[in-house]
Amino acid sequence: MIVTPTKLESCVLIEPRVFQDDRGFFLETYNANRYREAGVPLTFVQDNHSCSKLHTLRGLHYQIDRPQGKLVWAIRGEILDVAVDIRRSSPTFGQWYSVILSSENRRQLYVPPGFAHGFCALSEGTEIIYKCTDVYSPAGERTIAWNDPTLAIEWPVETPLLSPKDSEGVLFADAELFD
């Protein structure tokens, strides 16, 4: 597998080794030893599967009480995946990174605990899977506005499909962040 550091501290792009022939393909989506060696040292305790309509935008989500690291990949279609460093003590605090994850490129993005995460579906019926390092905590969930002017994330759509929760995200300046 190829591991590429991103501009954000501890956030890495992973390209698993794919074995492909005339029958199809095989790849290892996760191996604790290999991922630990690649700088993804945490244990995952929950797997999530999401399906989204074209131009659905989910995020920017995080949990303040039980921060989750996430290993994200698309199994159908493609997304623009976004990680935002919201750790005040980090040298990359307030910076974001985006990458296309698709069923074609089979890339994965590791988003460490202490980051906000979001994505936009770039195809109809996009499905993603992501492993989490902690369980879902509804009481601790927070949402930063997807279109926050301070972050100025370059989303691929101007009027995405949003949930009520994502429509009501707070500005980055007003968000409860990590020290």
Residues taking part in catalysis: 61, 130
Burial per residue of 135-164, b for 16 or more beta-carbon CB atoms within 10 angstroms, e otherwise = eeeeeeebbbbbbbeebebebeeeebebee
Mapping DSSP to helix (H, G, I), strand (E, B) and coil, where does residue 120 land?
A: strand
Closest CA to 59 of 79, 41, 44, 73: 79
Mapping DSSP to helix (H, G, I), strand (E, B) and coil, where does residue 164 land?
A: helix
DSSP letter (8 states) at residue 36? H
Encoded tokens for 4:
């590429």
Encoded tokens for 113:
């605990």
